[in-house]
A and B are shown apart, each in its own frame.
Chain A
């Protein structure tokens, strides 16, 4: 008898991946912890298309006419607003989850195209400060490595309330990555499985947050902007409350947003997709009359210039990338396929950022593995990638007749699915029907 799978039917409910997970759980007695972001099928920005120019719309010359990409955050409140040359930033990722070389590569790449990088749960390193001309300092519940001197060295402060991969959850860094340096920065014993706090220790709601933001501004003498980062859960209400608390920018991170380590059940089942989150955040900003004043930074699964342009057209001012930036500097490189396979994965599938065994030297603290990543080359790759994202976004904006990428608007979009039309608040392609608004 053959085992020809053409004669066998795989269960939709209990497919091989599900069976493997049940077997893994039965063997270990612990939930699956992994990196990356949501992997299941979700409504995405791919479900939108640009309409482009036509009889009633003038396009701009693709190779000649100017199409601006700059954004200023914190103007009018901070003494030193953040000037970004492109509307794409690098999301918060900690030293500890990433190697020092990876942090340096991110800093080099972002700086060379005039944008910012962000620290993470674990404090600021010299590598990232030294190589980032614009560095956003995250202020997290754990306060690992929190230092007022670093706060003053930052170009902006980002109060992290939540993260798209795990709204309502704290960080996680397993023992194999808690080296002597990481442990010292976080004041933790070396080698423990570190589970960060999920709530801030000294404030408990939006009224407290408003006072906290004043304190942070006072400590830095009102020099730099303050962002508030939210995992996309209730973006309409959370954005409004962040504005009320005094944020200069609100970061909304959809459920496709990545992480270095958390429970798989969190990644796949908590939060809402980026496509659904952006319009809700924009609705809150518009109702409060602060859209384009308080900046919206959209994150979670941004991969291409098309994603950038669509997020901006929906009303975001900036997008933030994490997973895509890691891929740009070498994550999941096919050149390491043999090594990924030796670890039970393969290039293109590698998600075990928590293990510290990354052959590409990015999500690891192992000195030998880390040394494989050349931060100069990694920085160049990231700079090239960011340039492509920007060029693609400009291409689409010009095609829609816009002289600045921030002039893109929902009117430039149509949806390919009813779900995307409802979430984005744009018509289903080929119809005048926007579910929920036009009957």
Chain B
């Protein structure tokens, strides 16, 4: 049985303190009305259901358990998530799952700009489309987009892996399309299953780093001349 906490009656501070102090159990958050920082910093295996839309940083730095937003989510949903699961049944604004280090973030609708920016190991599954600069500087983890991706997908990407089923408006600097090998089909299948979404892995295309920006290009004319015919300048 879940404990109901109504944000009309209870201040945000009290809600988060209850969630931080709980060792387990379920909680229903009522009347969120776009509140910020709802259910952020959870460290124990609780299940939180939010009845309505939330503002910034819902489930920020989430570490264990599950948070489900039955509505839309504002910027920075599940930012820096470490583990556990965060789901929003509607759309998510900019910077969803930014810098996430682990766990699973599911966005059933669309996600705004910079979805998965600087992601560091999180898995993100978006049922709809994502905005521009998705996975900017993405370091590790997987981003699966069932819809389209906006401009400059994967700009300056490191080792994260991006999958898109729909159209990609443009790829960012150093991001290239790569072959879908069997292990990638299996990875997409696993992520879709975890997100409880139906799609055929073979419909997706994979994108990742060309690794051309990993190091500065430094010329050395003097050394070249010193090593050339005659040995010295």
Does any Cβ of B come within 8 Å of A367's Cβ? no
Are B40 and A192 interface neighbours, CB within 8 A? no
Cβ proximity bits B15-52 to A, threshold 8 Å, 1 near / 0 not: 01100100000000000000011001101000000000
* A58 CB-CB contact with B under 8 Å: no
Contact residue among A187, A188, A203, A218 (Cβ-Cβ distance under 8 Å from B37) = A218
Determine whether the beta carbon of A27 is less than 8 Å from that of B40: no
Cβ of B210 to closest chain A Cβ, rounded Å: 13
Beta-carbon contacts of B56-72 to A below 8 Å, as 1s and 0s?
Answer: 11001101000000000
Contact with B along A179-220 (1 / 0, CB 8 A): 000000001110011000100011100001001101100111
Chain A neighbourhood of B57, CB < 8 A: 202, 211-212, 215
Contact (Cβ within 8 A) B60 A189? no
CA distance A125 to B106 in the complex (A): 32
Which residues of A have CB within 8 Å of B137?
197
User: Which residues of B sit under 8 angstroms from A142, Cβ to Cβ?
Assistant: 118
Question: CB of A221 within 8 A of chain B?
Answer: yes
Expressed in whole angstroms, the Cα–Cα distance for A28 and B216 within the complex equals 11
CB B200 to nearest CB in A, in angstroms, measures 31
A219→B215 contact, CB < 8 A: no
- B36, B57, B221 — which one has the most chain A CB atoms within 10 A of its CB? B57
> In the docked arrangement, what's the CA distance between A174 and B218, Å?
12
Contact across chains for B79 and A219 when beta carbons are under 8 A apart: no
Please give me the residue from chain A that is nearest to B117 by CB atom.
A201
When A30-B216, A193-B216 are in contact, do A202 and B98 touch as well, CB less than 8 Å?
Answer: yes
* Whole-angstrom distance between the Cβ of B116 and the nearest chain A Cβ: 10
Q: A215-B37, A219-B60, A221-B20 are in contact. Are A201 and B98 (CB under 8 A)?
A: yes
Q: How far is the CB of B15 from chain A (nearest CB, A)?
A: 9
Contact string against B for A residues 127-157, beta-carbon threshold 8 Å, 1 for contact and 0 otherwise? 0000000000000001100111101000000
CB-CB nearest in chain B for A196? B137
Among B56, B114, B221, max chain A CB count under 10 A is at B56
| Nearest CB on A from B213, distance (A) | 9
* Contact call B41/A218, Cβ cutoff below 8 A: yes
Q: Point out the residue from B36, B94, B114 that lies within 8 Å of A215, measured CB to CB.
A: B36
Contacts of B140 in A (CB 8 A): 187
Query: Across the two chains, which residue of chain B brings its CB closest to A220?
Result: B41
B9 interface residue (CB < 8 Å to A):
no
Q: Are B214 and A202 in contact (CB under 8 A)?
A: no
B36 contacts A214, C-beta separation under 8 Å: yes
Contact A201/B118 with A148-B82, A211-B55, A214-B37 known, Cβ cut-off 8 Å: yes
Q: Which residue of A lies closest to B97 (CB)?
A: A202
B217 is an interface residue with CB less than 8 A from chain A:
yes
Question: Given A201-B95, A215-B60, does the pair A143, B118 have CB atoms closer than 8 Å?
Answer: yes
Cross-interface CB contact of B219 among A27, A146, A187, cutoff 8 Å = A27
Tell me if B121 counts as interface (CB < 8 A to partner A): yes
Query: B residues 3-22 with Cβ under 8 Å of A?
Result: 12-13, 16-17, 20
Residue of B nearest to A148 (CB): B61
**Residue B183 lies at the interface, judged by CB distance under 8 Å to chain A:** no
Is A27 a contact partner of B95 (Cβ separation < 8 A)?
no
Of A27, A30, A187, A218, which is within 8 A of B16 by CB? A218
Residues of B near A193 (CB, < 8 A) are 214-216
Q: Is the CB–CB distance between A218 and B99 below 8 Å?
A: no
B222 touches A (CB below 8 Å)? yes
Q: Are B36 and A146 touching (Cβ within 8 A)?
A: no
Judge if B131 is at the interface, Cβ distance under 8 Å: no
Nearest Cβ on chain A to B38's Cβ, whole angstroms? 9
A222 to B37, CA, bound (A): 13
On chain B, the residues within 8 Å of A189 by CB distance are: 158-159, 214
A146 to B219, CA, bound (A): 35
**Chain B residues closer than 8 Å to A146, beta-carbon distance:** 80, 99, 101
Tell me the B67-87 residues at the A interface (CB within 8 Å).
Answer: 75-76, 79-80, 82
Q: List 21 A-B contacts (CB under 8 A).
A: A28-B218, A28-B220, A30-B217, A148-B43, A187-B101, A189-B158, A189-B214, A192-B158, A197-B118, A201-B114, A201-B136, A202-B57, A203-B76, A208-B75, A211-B37, A215-B37, A215-B56, A218-B16, A218-B41, A220-B41, A221-B16
Known: A148-B63, A188-B139, A192-B214. 8 other contacts (CB 8 A): A27-B222, A30-B218, A187-B140, A189-B158, A211-B57, A212-B56, A215-B37, A219-B41
Residues of A within 8 A of B (CB): 26-30, 142-143, 146-149, 151, 174-175, 187-189, 192-193, 197, 201-203, 208, 211-212, 214-215, 218-222
Of all A-B residue pairs in the complex, the 3 with the closest CB atoms, nearest first, are: A219-B41, A202-B76, A148-B61
